[in-house]
Amino acid sequence: MGRLIAVSNRTAADASARAGGLAVALSDALVKTNGAWFGWSGETTQGQPRGVTMFRNEGVDFLLADLTEEERQGYYLSYSNSLIWPVFHYRNDLARFVEDDFNIYSAVNDRFARLIIARARDDDVIWIHDYHFMLLGEALRREGWTGRIGFFLHIPFPPPEIFRTVPQHYHLARAICACDVIGFQSMNDRMNFIRYLREYCGAREREGDIVEVFGRRVRIGAYPIGIDAEMFKSYVSSEKAQNAVRRISRFIGERLHVIGVDRMDYSKGLPERFAAFGKLLDDYPETRGKLSMTQIAPPSRSSVEEYRELRNQLDALSGRINGDYGDLDWTPLRYLVRSFEREELAGLYSISRVGLVTPLRDGMNLVAKEYVAAQNPEDPGVLILSEFAGAAEQLDQALLVNPYDAANLAAAINMALYMPLEERRERWHALNEIVSRYDIAWWREKFLTDLTGESSIAEDDADEARRAAALRAWRKRSA
Helix (H, G, I), strand (E, B) or coil at 54: strand
Instruction: Print the SS3 string covering 127-185.
Output: EEECHHHCCHHHHHHHCCCCCCEEEECCCCCCCHHHHCCCCCHHHHHHHHCCCCEEEEC
Neighbours of 48 (CB within 10 A): 7
- Which of 61, 110, 154, 463 is an active site residue? 154
Could you give the strand order of the β-sheet that contains 60-68, starting from the edge strand earlier in sequence?
53-57, 60-68, 36-45, 4-7, 125-129, 149-152, 181-184, 216-222, 210-213, 204-205
| Residue 261 amino acid letter | V
d(C-alpha 187, C-alpha 70), whole Å: 37
What are residue 388's phi and psi, to 5 degrees? Answer: -100, 10
Residue 362: active-site member: yes
d(C-alpha 80, C-alpha 106), whole Å: 11
- Which of 101, 262, 362, 450 is an active site residue? 362
Instruction: Print the SS3 string covering 384-440.
Output: EEECCEHHHHCCCCCEEECCCCHHHHHHHHHHHHCCCHHHHHHHHHHHHHHHHHCCH
Write out the catalytic residue numbers.
154, 362
